[in-house]
Amino acid sequence: MSTTQRQRLEAREENLLVAATAVFAESGVDGARMAEIARRADIAEGTIYLYHKNKQELLEAVVDRFWRELTRGALAALSPHGSVTQQLKELADYHLHSLIDDFKIVEITSRARERQGETGRQLPQIREYVRVFDAILERGIGLQEFDASTPVWQMRDVFYGTLEHSARTLVLRNQAFDASVINNLLLLFERFRQTTPGVEGQTKTETSIMEALARIESHLTTKRS
């Protein structure tokens, strides 16, 4: 196959995935029709099956592409020589904007994973995406900004979990991007570096996490009122 022909086929598949992404986002997985996807991609419906044998396989390709592009965008959003705090802020800003802008595709990703018992093609791409955060925090540990015992997986869950919960709340309340969500999240990370015992057997780390999450929830609730 010549380079030109291969490039033409790759461009057609990319156009197909862009069209499928739009239709899945608008109509959901069950409501999406292959004929409509083909119409938007300006190809014959039968051409779709040259690339993907059924709707489920096409959905997996859409989700795979979404997270691959998300990872590429996250890496581009980071200042190469920025501080750990700056990179965390940049990643949080990028992630929250992306979740709000593509909320329906993120939900489709969750449903696709549930349907496949978390064994679908998209999982490696999701792992690549969350490794962007891991790399930043591990750099912070290497620079001794965070203690070597810092549980990266727990901080990752707090980081992405807070942003995803906040994005869902903002979208459902028809509210726009809210920078205070990120500011409170970063304050939480600053306090995470402290390990002085707190009240009632909690470490200051645990207390600070709960306080910061409460502030985020309270702020969103106030915005709704």
Give domain status of residue 130, yes or no: yes
Query: Do both 203 and 145 map to the same domain?
Result: yes
Q: How far is residue 103's CA from residue 109's CA, in Å, rounded to a whole number?
A: 10
Number of compact structural domains in the chain: 2
Instruction: Say which residue the tokens 């942003």 belong to.
Output: 163
Query: Do both 39 and 134 map to the same domain?
Result: no
Query: Do both 104 and 26 map to the same domain?
Result: no
Residue 206 sits in a domain of what CATH number? 1.10.357.10
pLDDT digits (tens, 9 = 90+) for 130-159: 999 999 999 999 998 888 888 899 899 999
Is 121 a residue whose pLDDT tops 70?
no
Query: Do both 116 and 43 map to the same domain?
Result: no
Query: Do both 126 and 220 map to the same domain?
Result: yes
Give DSSP secondary structure letters for 130-180: HHHHHHHHHHHHHTTSS-TT--HHHHHHHHHHHHHHHHHHHHHTT----HH
Give domain status of residue 58, yes or no: no
* Confidence tier at 10 by pLDDT (50, 70, 90): confident
Is 11 a residue whose pLDDT tops 60?
yes
Query: Do both 74 and 5 map to the same domain?
Result: no
Of the candidates 25, 152, 180, the one whose C-alpha atom is nearest the C-alpha of residue 96 is: 180
Are 113 and 52 spatial neighbours (Cβ–Cβ below 8 Å)? Answer: no
Two structure tokens written together for 200: 């009632």
Is 93 a residue whose pLDDT tops 90?
yes
Q: How far is residue 75's CA from residue 136's CA, in Å, rounded to a whole number?
A: 11
Mean pLDDT, range 81-92, rounded to an integer? 95
Q: Which domain holds residue 211?
A: 63-224
Mean per-residue pLDDT of the chain: 83
Q: Looking at residue 217, what is its pLDDT? A: 59
Global confidence as pTM: 0.77
pLDDT digits (tens, 9 = 90+) for 54-73: 999 999 899 889 999 999 99
Burial of 30 (0-12, 13-18, 19+ CB in 10 A): exposed
pLDDT digits (tens, 9 = 90+) for 173-213: 988 899 999 999 998 888 767 444 443 434 444 555 555 55
Give domain status of residue 107, yes or no: yes
